[in-house]
Amino acid sequence: MLYSVTILLLLVHVVLGYINPVAVKGKHFYDSVTGELFMVKGVDYQPGGASGVSVDKDPLSEIEECTRDILLFQELGINTIRVYSVNPDLNHDKCMSLLAAAGIYLILDVNSPLPNQSINRYEPWSSYNHDYLYHIFKVVDQFSHYNNTLAFFAGNEVVNDKVSATHSSNYMKAVVRDLKTYITHHSERPIPVGYSAADDLSFRIPLAKYLECSNSTAELDSVDFYGVNSYQWCGYQNMQTSGYDQLVANYEDYTKPIMFSEYGCNEVTPRIFQEVEAIYSSKMSSVFNGGLAYEFAQEPNNYGMVEYLSDGRVKLLKDFETFKNQLAKASENYQVKQMNEKVRSTPLRCQDTYENLGNKLVVPQSLGMAFITQGVKCEKGSFVQLSDDDFVVKREIFLPDGTKFQKNKIVPTHNLNGPDTHQTVPEKSQGSKNGKYLQILNVETFPSSSRLTLNRTVSVKNYSLTTL
């Protein structure tokens, strides 16, 4: 009898839905196999803040903490988390596998606060170097093999004032180009690359237009999507008083997906997350593709939904329940205007200048060609087999009133690998033989013309390179 029960438990995992990659078509995200519209419902997740990543750990390497928090992600009802920094030298297989089994996707920033792993906004030429590129390519190499890696952010609020706008805008375009070029050569599938913009209208809108444009047919220097950090809806407001109506108008003609990469004003506490209803309503869903609430873990800035206690224990805060309830009420009957609109066949051409971005917008030549040609030495991530015990949470969780949270096990909802069959996708899509890599044209395929011919010698010191 015990043997039969074990077999039955194993079979339960087989009939679950597949975790399919997400792709871009036009202004929206889609499930790349089923063709269903994908709206981002998530949280920003960086326990420990800047100190949450080190040579020894990061948010996706500590399995007991990861298991605990995934259970809470499920309780919230989210489908995506954003992680701001990781160490690609650590192993993330089990955490990414658990996230995938729970139906949760990852949007990952490629930069980190560790030395030589981010762009200096005021002197980008000093930090855009081989060390930096080696790091961001390692991040791509490790995470591109997980189906639930939704996208990469090339930068977060790098441009946030007049000086950084003048000096760093073109370097952000270079980083986007390098990441997308590396992905075309070393990833089994296309993965969207975007940018997360600071909450400043003076730079957010012109930078969006600059990062959208391209003078190349392959559009390798154009973002695949654009993230907006916005904290303008505070307390009880509406589309007009919050300025969300103007936010929609500002991006109505944008040709790439727009999303909130951070939202959740805390000037009025406790937060009521009233904006959630608007974000997923017909008033916004034709332009915005959902968003990520800031943030999951409580830090000194007081935006958290949970508080980490000693010994790995966690206490849920009032914001947790409020955000959960608002998400539960959010509409899933998204009304997307011009869903079948024709995707632009040619990119928007770049202007000579953009307001508030300075006059020196020449994109620097790539310093990463040797890495793009030969790859970087990195342990590539992959899904792993999960036992029943892997889904069990071994840390205590408490409700806001101090009583114990009763659930202690992640509920698997998805298989980790896709089917080997063709399925329906949106018009103009293009598929591959393996269903889990069925892709939708925009970031969706890489025509042979977009692959660079790399036949020149590049001198690089002290790097381990590996060929495919």
Contacts by residues 448-452 (CB-CB < 8 Å, ≥ 24 positions apart)? 449/217, 449/218, 450/184, 450/217, 450/218, 450/220, 451/184, 451/185, 452/181, 452/372
Select which of 62, 65, 219, 262 is catalytic. 262
**Residue 65: active-site member:** no
In whole angstroms, give the CA distance from residue 161 to residue 75: 38
The rounded Cα 22 to chain-centroid distance in angstroms is 11
Name the β-bridge partners of 260: 228, 291
DSSP, collapsed to helix, strand or coil, labels residue 315 as: strand
In whole angstroms, give the CA distance from residue 379 to residue 382: 9
Hey, what are 6's tokens?
Answer: 């074990």
Select which of 62, 157, 275, 295 is catalytic. 157
Count of Cβ atoms closer than 10 Å to residue 464 Cβ: 10
Name the β-bridge partners of 37: 30
DSSP, collapsed to helix, strand or coil, labels residue 347 as: coil
**Residue 277: active-site member:** no
| Residue appearing with tokens 């008033």 | 283
In 53-138, at which residue ranges do the beta strands (DSSP E only) sit? 80-83, 105-109
- Asked if 12 contacts 388 with a C-beta cutoff of 8 angstroms, the reply is no
For every residue of 417-443, DSSP letters joined together read S--SS-----TTEE--SSGGG-EETTT
Position 83, amino acid: V
Which residues are identified as catalytic? 157, 262
